[in-house]
Structure 1
Amino acid sequence: MSAVVAMPAAKRPRTRGAVRNAPLADDLFRLMHKERDGALQLHEDVAGLVLAAALLGELVLGGHLMITADYAVTVPTRPAPYEPLAHEVLDIVTCESHPAPTWLLFLATTAYDRVAGRMVREGHVEQVAARRLFSRNRTGYRPADGNNAAWPWARLLNRLQRQEPLDNTDRLLGGLLLACDWHRTVLRTADLNVTLSLRHELQQAPEPVQLLAALTENAVGSAVTSRLR
Structure 2
Amino acid sequence: MTAGLSDGGRWSDRLHLADDFWVIVHNADSGRPRLNETRRSLGLAGALLGELVLSGHLVIHDRNVYITDVTPPVDATSHLILEQIVAESQAHHVQVWVKFLADSAAATMTDRLMRAGLVEREQQRRRLRQTTVVYRPVDPNRAYWRPVLLRQALAGRYGPTGWPDMFLAGLVEATGLLPAVLQEDHAAGRSYLAHWLPRADPPSLNELVVAVRALVGHREEA
Same fold (TM over 0.5): yes
In the comparison of the two structures, how many residue pairs are matched? 210
Aligned partner of 1:91: which letter? E
- Give 1:186 shift: 2.3
Note if 1:46 corresponds to 2:39. Answer: yes
Which residue of structure 1 aligns with residue 134 of structure 2?
A: 140
Structure 1 residues not aligned, in runs of 5+: 1-15
Alignment of 1:85 with 2:85, yes or no, is: no
Match of 1:120 in 2: 114
Could you tell me how far apart the structure 1 residues matched to 2:29 and 2:153 are? 25
Structure 1 equivalent of residue 219 of structure 2: 223
8 Å Cα contact 1:49-1:220 kept in structure 2:
yes
Deviation at 1:181, TM superposition (A): 1.5
Q: CA deviation at 1:130?
A: 2.2
115-124 vs 198-207, which moves further: 198-207
Q: SS where residue 165 of structure 1 aligns?
A: coil
Residues 186-219 of structure 1: CA distance to partner in whole angstroms, max 9, x if unpaired?
A: 2333541122122223133121111100000000
Give the letter aligned to residue 197 of structure 1: Y
- Give the secondary structure class of the aligned counterpart of 2:125: strand
| Residue 197 (structure 1) aligned with residue 192 (structure 2) | yes
53, 74, 84: which one pairs with 2:66? Answer: 74
Larger helix fraction of residues: 2
Secondary structure class of the residue paired with 1:41: coil
**Which consecutive unaligned segments of at least 5 residues does structure 2 have?**
1-8
Query: Aligned to 1:61, which of 54, 57, 82?
Result: 54
Moved more, 144-153 or 91-100: 144-153
* Percentage of pairs with the same residue: 31
Question: What's the C-alpha RMSD, in Å, of the aligned pairs?
Answer: 1.9
Q: For residue 225 of structure 1, what is the amino acid of its counterpart? A: E
Moved over 6 A (4+): none
Equivalence for 2:209: 213
Q: Is the 8 A contact 2:200 2:206 kept in 1?
A: yes
> Per-residue displacement from partner, 1:33-52 (whole Å, max 9, x unpaired)?
11111011211121111101
Structure-1 separation of matches of 2:27 and 2:146: 13
Question: What displacement does 1:80 show?
Answer: 1.9
Instruction: Give the equivalent residue in structure 2 for 1:168.
Output: 163
Aligned-pair CA distance for 1:147: 3.1
Contact 1:33 1:141 in 2 (8 A): no
Within the alignment, does 1:157 sit opposite 2:112 as a pair? no
Mapped partners of 1:58, 1:136: distance in 2: 37
